[in-house]
């Protein structure tokens, strides 16, 4: 492999118009169907000692070659990210545009800096610089070079080998001085696309990670984050020797990560707050059950402390004083953890600060003992022999439930300065997230009329309460029409009501009247009606020839629908569909008919049993859905007496 020198990745910019045409023709053929390609996409990271502290200079470079005129307006906009730990020192961008007078270099002059809206972590004050390449036409070459200074080597940047466009060559190089132990973890390199080369020159070690001709994956809105399945490399410093020759451990084990994390807790909430003690005493007065005490305190925080994210350097790691959160009435996830932990302890309940990664992060602590394994903080309590994962950032989460976005994740619980535990957050069972729908329908002159009463339990109730908080008036009515809609897109919502049956358990009941013009069909003396007013999974057959990534759902669930049709006296049932049953480890579907004197009741029960549908299960999933979709064509037939 060709060695890459520090600070510079060689980018060949061809200036001869004939050479451009030849290169363009070859790339158009190689990347047929794509309008542009990154010919170069990479970074050079040079670790060095600055005043006795290990830091890094990072040079990021990209070159985009436009293969089609239609690319103009689609790929002009580019973004560079930086933060307090990863400072942007210099940014240069230009287009080498093909014009009738030859190749012309046009500098980008308008750079717009703003807070990043894409940051999903609680500890980083990410900014973004946006700019547009000018004159992005066929044959144009768009070049960007950004110089960063990484002042804290705890945050070594991951190396991603995927993009939204094809990449002719990914090229990452790392320069490591003597006395520094660099570690790396390669993820999702199943096709062995990532090549690794290392060598030593003098006292300096060099690492190169490259990959060539990488095509973009198809984006799916219901897929987990790309780090679950796309190739990337996680870099970290295991240890280094300082100017005195003493070894400084960074991240050589999970113990190192825990020690680093715990340092941010040591000076927090050392004093006692009389105001918080009075609050706790008032909330638990007369209550003997520790579970009930914890529930009351959690719900007080949900009702009175507003979640506001803070991402400002190391302040993003340090929880604020519980008393300050109490007086200000707002805080981020760490602050919620702070006030919850203190309040629970004041009630003599064992409570602990806990780091956790949301489901957008695929890593486990014993495999990836780095700060990027978690992006969230909660409070964990141990009550009556059971662990409770208490997340104050969700104002409607049910006590005893983890927030939906941490189900199945590992939690790093801070027991003491030297003791921690890794706990697995449970996945809430499908029966606990339940919708029970009772719908009564009557045949009308033109279609059907009806009324529904729907009860929402578990995460369904949580979602409903969160959604309704943001909607009033017409927005609320439109939302209820969407939630209650069935039978066809001609559904017309009538009067409706919303009742919170049990606010503590987030049990909500929605009642609505409706009509559906044109639903059902009369042919002579017969009337045909499909009793499956809602048909589930109708758009979820998976194209296994294209999709190779898993399908993610927010939570497991059960939907139980009762559809009761009043049979007019002038009709008899001449055909009733047979019952349908299907059950495996992925889903369960039961559809059963029951006839009484004046009506017929159809129960449709759907159970979604997994959070992630893996590619190896796609054939079984498709087989189940094909059977169900075939059954959905069955209709009840009524004949005039």
User: Comparing C-alpha atoms, which of 574, 450, 449, 567 is closest to residue 524?
Assistant: 574
What is the structure's pLDDT at 316? 73
CA atoms within 13 A on the CB side of 577: 24
Contacts of 227 (CB under 8 A, 6+ apart): 187, 188, 361, 362
Distance of alpha carbon 343 from alpha carbon 283, whole angstroms? 10
Q: Check: CB of residue 9 under 8 Å from CB of residue 171.
A: yes
Residue located via tokens 């054939």: 619
Q: Check: CB of residue 298 under 8 Å from CB of residue 341.
A: no
In the chain (641 residues long), the average pLDDT of successive 10-residue segments reads 31 37 79 94 94 92 94 91 92 93 92 73 70 93 96 95 96 96 96 95 95 93 95 97 89 97 93 94 96 96 89 74 94 95 97 97 97 95 97 94 97 97 98 97 92 97 92 94 94 95 89 95 92 89 94 97 93 94 96 92 97 96 95 94 83
User: Comparing C-alpha atoms, which of 8, 145, 40, 34 is closest to residue 90?
Assistant: 145
What is the structure's pLDDT at 1? 31
Q: Report which secondary-structure segment, H or E, holds 91.
A: strand 86-99
Angle, CA of 483, 489 and 491, to the nearest 5°? 65
Length of the chain: 641
Burial (0-12, 13-18, 19+ Cβ within 10 Å), 298: buried
Q: Report which secondary-structure segment, H or E, holds 591.
A: strand 587-595
Contacts of 475 (CB under 8 A, 6+ apart): none
Distances 99 to 95, 130, 140 between C-alpha atoms, Å? 12, 25, 9
DSSP strands (E only) in 445-586: 447-456, 492-502, 507-516, 521-523, 526-529, 551-552, 557-566, 571-575, 580-583
| DSSP H stretches of helix in 243-392 | 254-262, 274-284, 290-304, 322-328, 333-346
Distance of alpha carbon 49 from alpha carbon 377, whole angstroms? 32
The helix/strand/coil state of 47 is strand
The CA dihedral of 533, 476, 455, 621, to the nearest 10 degrees, is 50
Distance of alpha carbon 129 from alpha carbon 91, whole angstroms? 9
Distance of alpha carbon 640 from alpha carbon 289, whole angstroms? 62
User: Comparing C-alpha atoms, which of 75, 135, 132 is closest to residue 101?
Assistant: 135
Q: How many CB atoms lie within 10 A of CB 482?
A: 11
Burial (0-12, 13-18, 19+ Cβ within 10 Å), 593: middle
Tokens, residue 611: 């959070």
Q: Check: CB of residue 625 under 8 Å from CB of residue 560.
A: no
> At how many degrees (to 10) do helices 274-284 and 333-346 cross?
70
Distance of alpha carbon 129 from alpha carbon 144, whole angstroms? 12
For the four alpha carbons of 79, 150, 160 and 43, in that order, the dihedral sign comes to: positive
CA atoms within 13 A on the CB side of 263: 7
Distance of alpha carbon 272 from alpha carbon 275, whole angstroms? 9
What is the structure's pLDDT at 549? 95
Residue located via tokens 């003493």: 246
DSSP string over 152-181: -GGGPPPEE---SS-EEEEEEEEEE-TTEE
Distance of alpha carbon 367 from alpha carbon 354, whole angstroms? 18
The helix/strand/coil state of 259 is helix
């Amino acid at each position: 492999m060709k060695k890459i020198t520090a600070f510079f990745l060689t980018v060949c910019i061809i200036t001869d118009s004939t050479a451009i045409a030849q290169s363009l023709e070859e790339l158009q053929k190689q990347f047929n169907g794509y309008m542009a390609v990154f010919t170069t996409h990479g970074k050079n990271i040079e670790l060095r000692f600055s005043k006795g502290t290990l830091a890094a200079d990072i040079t990021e470079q990209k070159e985009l070659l436009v293969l089609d005129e239609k690319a103009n307006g689609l790929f002009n906009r580019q973004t560079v990210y930086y933060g307090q730990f990863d400072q942007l020192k210099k940014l240069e961008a230009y287009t080498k545009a093909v014009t009738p007078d030859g190749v012309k270099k046009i500098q980008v002059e308008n750079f717009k800096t703003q807070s990043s809206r894409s940051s999903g972590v609680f500890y980083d004050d990410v900014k973004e610089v946006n700019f547009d390449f000018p004159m992005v036409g066929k044959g144009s070459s768009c070049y960007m070079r950004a110089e960063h200074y990484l002042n804290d080597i705890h945050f070594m940047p991951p190396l991603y080998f995927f993009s939204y466009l094809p990449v002719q060559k990914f090229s990452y190089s790392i320069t490591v001085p003597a006395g520094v132990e660099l570690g790396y973890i390669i993820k999702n390199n199943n096709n062995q696309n990532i090549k690794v080369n290392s060598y030593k020159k003098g006292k300096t070690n060099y690492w190169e990670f490259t990959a060539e001709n990488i095509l973009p994956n198809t984006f799916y809105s219901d897929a987990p984050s790309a780090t679950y399945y796309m190739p990337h490399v996680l870099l970290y410093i295991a240890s280094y020797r300082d100017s005195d020759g003493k070894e400084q451990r960074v991240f050589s084990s999970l113990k190192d990560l825990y020690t680093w994390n715990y340092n941010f807790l040591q000076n927090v909430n050392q004093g006692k707050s009389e105001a918080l003690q009075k609050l706790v005493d008032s909330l638990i007065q007369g209550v003997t059950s520790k579970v009930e005490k914890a529930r009351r305190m959690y719900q007080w925080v949900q009702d009175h402390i507003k979640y506001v994210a803070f991402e400002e350097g190391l302040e993003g790691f340090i929880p604020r004083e519980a008393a300050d959160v109490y007086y200000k009435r707002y805080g981020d996830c760490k602050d919620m953890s702070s006030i919850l932990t203190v309040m629970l302890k004041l009630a003599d309940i064992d409570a602990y600060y806990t780091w956790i990664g949301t489901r957008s992060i695929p890593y486990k602590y014993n495999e990836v003992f780095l700060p990027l394994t978690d992006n969230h903080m909660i409070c964990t309590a141990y009550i009556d022999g059971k662990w409770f994962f208490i997340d104050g950032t969700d104002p409607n989460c049910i006590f005893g439930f983890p927030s939906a976005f941490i189900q199945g994740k590992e939690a790093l619980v801070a027991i003491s300065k030297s003791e921690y535990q890794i706990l697995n957050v449970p996945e809430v069972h499908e029966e606990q997230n339940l919708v029970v729908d009772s719908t009564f329908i009557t045949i009308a002159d033109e279609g059907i009329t009806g009324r529904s009463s729907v009860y929402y339990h578990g995460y369904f109730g949580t979602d409903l309460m969160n959604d309704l908080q943001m909607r009033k008036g017409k927005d609320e009515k439109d939302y209820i029409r969407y939630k209650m809609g069935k039978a066809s897109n001609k559904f017309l919502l009538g009067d409706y009501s919303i009742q919170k049956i049990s606010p503590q358990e987030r049990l909500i009941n929605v009642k609505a009247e409706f009509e559906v013009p044109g639903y059902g069909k009369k042919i002579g003396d017969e009337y045909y009606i499909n009793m499956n007013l809602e048909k589930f999974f109708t758009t979820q057959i998976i194209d296994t020839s294209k999709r190779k990534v898993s399908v993610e759902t927010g939570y497991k669930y059960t939907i139980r629908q009762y559809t009761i049709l009043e049979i007019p006296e002038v009709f008899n049932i001449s055909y009733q569909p047979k019952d349908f049953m299907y059950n495996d480890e992925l889903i369960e579907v039961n559809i059963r008919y029951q006839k009484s004197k004046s009506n017929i009741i159809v129960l449709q029960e759907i159970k979604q049993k997994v959070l992630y549908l893996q590619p190896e299960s796609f054939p079984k999933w498709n087989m189940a859905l094909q059977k169900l979709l075939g059954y959905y064509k069955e209709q009840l037939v009524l004949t005039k007496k």
